[in-house]
Amino acid sequence: MQQLANTPLIAYVVVASGSAIGGLARYVCGLFIAERVSSDFAWGTLFVNVSGSFLIGVFAACTDPGGRWANSPLLRELLMVGLMGGYTTFSSFSLQTFAFLREGRLGFAMANVVASVVLCLVVVWLGYALASAGKSAG
């Protein structure tokens, strides 16, 4: 909690700004895909998740120490926490799983994939079921 209290206000503004831009980008991409593809499949969501995973990989490499861009924690927070967090959190999941694979921790990577997919599907069902339980029949 001490770390949170010591975080400069500018970091909060940068992350919030990036999140707003990322959320808007997700919305626009979803509309763009939906207007061009007539399908019941979630092509817009898939596009956002795949493109977000690609972009967070690019941003991670470019903002790592020794990366192509200036090593600025604020820039990294803007791009990876704000922009990509607003665009899709699937990108964070993908980057974390990739890190496990790079470190040779195949078990952790597989557990992250299986646990995330299964648990998220279960809790989506649970949340939907609980929220629907209060609906009246008429």
- Res 2 pLDDT > 60: no
- Distance, CA of 60 to CA of 58 (rounded, Å): 5
Shared domain for 12 and 37, answered yes or no, is yes
Shared domain for 25 and 76, answered yes or no, is yes
Overall average pLDDT of the 65-80 stretch: 86
Structural domain that includes position 136? 106-138
Shared domain for 67 and 97, answered yes or no, is yes
Give me the pLDDT at residue 29, please. 93
Count of structural domains within the chain: 2
Give me the pLDDT at residue 134, please. 63
- Distance, CA of 85 to CA of 19 (rounded, Å): 6
Q: What is the mean pLDDT of the chain?
A: 86
Shared domain for 83 and 122, answered yes or no, is no
- Distance, CA of 138 to CA of 135 (rounded, Å): 9
Shared domain for 111 and 96, answered yes or no, is no
> What is the chain's length?
138
